[in-house]
Amino acid sequence: MLVLRRGAGARYKFNDVAQMLEAFERQHFRLGVIAGFTYASDKVNAYIADPARDATIVKVGDDTENLRNLLAGTIDGFIADRIVAATVAWRQQKSDEIEEYPLYMTTPIHFMLSRASQSPAMLDRLNGAIDEIRRTGEIKRIADTYALPILIHQTLDANWFKALALLGTIAFTLSGVVLAHAGRYTLFGALVLASIPALGGGVLRDLIVQREPLGVVRDPTFVLAVIATVLLGMAFFKLASFGRAERLVEPLRARRALGTHLIEVFDALGLAAFTVLGVVVILDTSVHPLWLWGPISAVIGSSFGGLIRDMIRQDGELASLKGQLYPEIAVAWGLAFSLFLGWEADRLQPEEIWLGVVVTIAGAFLTRMAAVAFGLKGWPYA
């Protein structure tokens, strides 16, 4: 693909490689390429090799240099493998500064052996080995281990996903804040009750799958969000305890009243975001099979924190187990997302992965909101 500065694609109107090269020639386009690299199009390779175009061809050692030159204005664009270019930009935290031009060049990849040193029998053995690693699923395992986690993290590093996860964390924290106020807990007690539903499920999940370091240690943002929410909640209740403002607190004293519309929405967003994160953690740790451990990880990360909190409080009801449709949503959508990623490992299309994340989040969110609106319960055991 052709990589450009974000917003630059609107200046170009070509639909195929020939038109692209004509536009390059006409506009004296400065093209970045990797020295000695053979690209997917013979026309592109011929264009690069033409000595007459040396002034507009900038040859470098790798795509990291190409990206640096593009952002510095030394070149107008560079041609690169889609996954490689996206990964380089993501690792440099520059994904929001570049864009793909929607023209893709593809070519099959072949192993070529020397006739002088290799026999037809060796070629047959090589072809047989390729067929075997396809048959046994080894190629898919390699994609699951290396390429797929990188592509999925590029999607999850977007600001919109981080915002969803943060809103969900705040919603889970608020449930503990309200319970701590109703039970007249100390500040430390409030921090415990708030942090367990917000962070406890993720910690338990990471311990089970032996993820190192734990997610909560990798990014302290969520710990700080829990602390800030508890402190703000404490300040609110202190202020509201004076005068008429006390009546604002009363509706929040009961656990049931936590289902105000705004909190329920945030809670549903958190459930959806943590369902996706649970599956991604399994990709990170290469635990197999994904279709089994993905949903398990999703439900642990999104639901077990609240369960642990209720057990600590010695709450005999344990609503997450005896009533509301909640953990079942994480299991169902975690399974759907896991199956999708298993299928996507053979394709590795960034835009399809992004769409899969969005559909999973939307599906889990809407399912939870429907459960709240219609009072849907979990499937009864007896």
Q: What value does the CA radius of gyration of the chain take, rounded to a whole number of Å?
A: 27
Predicted local distance difference test score (pLDDT) of residue 366: 95
115 belongs to a structural domain: no
92 belongs to a structural domain: yes
Same domain, 83 and 156: no
Using the structure block, give the residue that is written with the tokens 């559909």.
Answer: 359
379 belongs to a structural domain: no
380 belongs to a structural domain: no
Predicted local distance difference test score (pLDDT) of residue 314: 67
Predicted local distance difference test score (pLDDT) of residue 367: 95
DSSP, residue by residue, 285-323: HT-S-HHHHHHHHHHHHHHHHHHHHHHHTT-SS-HHHHS
Do residues 54 and 80 touch, judged by C-beta distance below 8 A? no
Do residues 321 and 306 touch, judged by C-beta distance below 8 A? no
Same domain, 155 and 71: no
Same domain, 204 and 309: yes
Spans of the chain below 50 pLDDT: 245, 252-259, 318
Same domain, 194 and 255: yes
Q: How far is CA 8 from CA 77, 168, 278, 351, 368, in A?
A: 9, 36, 37, 20, 41
364 belongs to a structural domain: yes
Of 84, 101, 118, the last residue of a domain is 101
How far apart (Å, rounded) are the C-alpha atoms in residues 16 and 84?
22
For 218, the 3-state DSSP assignment is helix
How far apart (Å, rounded) are the C-alpha atoms in residues 325 and 220?
30
Question: What residue numbers bound the domain in which 173 lies?
Answer: 140-374
Same domain, 202 and 281: yes
Same domain, 161 and 21: no
What does pTM read for this prediction?
Answer: 0.74
Same domain, 92 and 190: no
Same domain, 86 and 173: no
Same domain, 95 and 151: no
Helix (H) or strand (E) holding 168: helix 159-182
Predicted local distance difference test score (pLDDT) of residue 47: 95
Same domain, 71 and 149: no
216 belongs to a structural domain: yes
198 belongs to a structural domain: yes
Split into its structural domains, the chain has a count of: 2
Using the structure block, give the residue that is written with the tokens 């290396």.
Answer: 146
Q: At 25, which CATH number? A: 3.40.190.10
110 belongs to a structural domain: no
Of 52, 73, 101, the last residue of a domain is 101
Same domain, 236 and 303: yes
How far apart (Å, rounded) are the C-alpha atoms in residues 192 and 201?
13
Predicted local distance difference test score (pLDDT) of residue 262: 67
Do residues 133 and 143 touch, judged by C-beta distance below 8 A? no
How far apart (Å, rounded) are the C-alpha atoms in residues 302 and 294?
12
How far apart (Å, rounded) are the C-alpha atoms in residues 79 and 105?
10
Q: Which residue from 249, 268, 297, 237 is spatially nearest to 370, judged by alpha carbons?
A: 268
What is the side-by-side order of every strand in the sheet holding 77-79? 57-60, 31-34, 77-79, 2-5, 98-101
Predicted local distance difference test score (pLDDT) of residue 150: 82
Predicted local distance difference test score (pLDDT) of residue 258: 39
Predicted local distance difference test score (pLDDT) of residue 323: 63
Of 77, 101, 125, the last residue of a domain is 101
For 44, the 3-state DSSP assignment is helix
Predicted local distance difference test score (pLDDT) of residue 270: 85
Same domain, 77 and 169: no
Q: Is 141 exposed, middle or buried (0-12, 13-18, 19+ CB in 10 A)?
A: middle
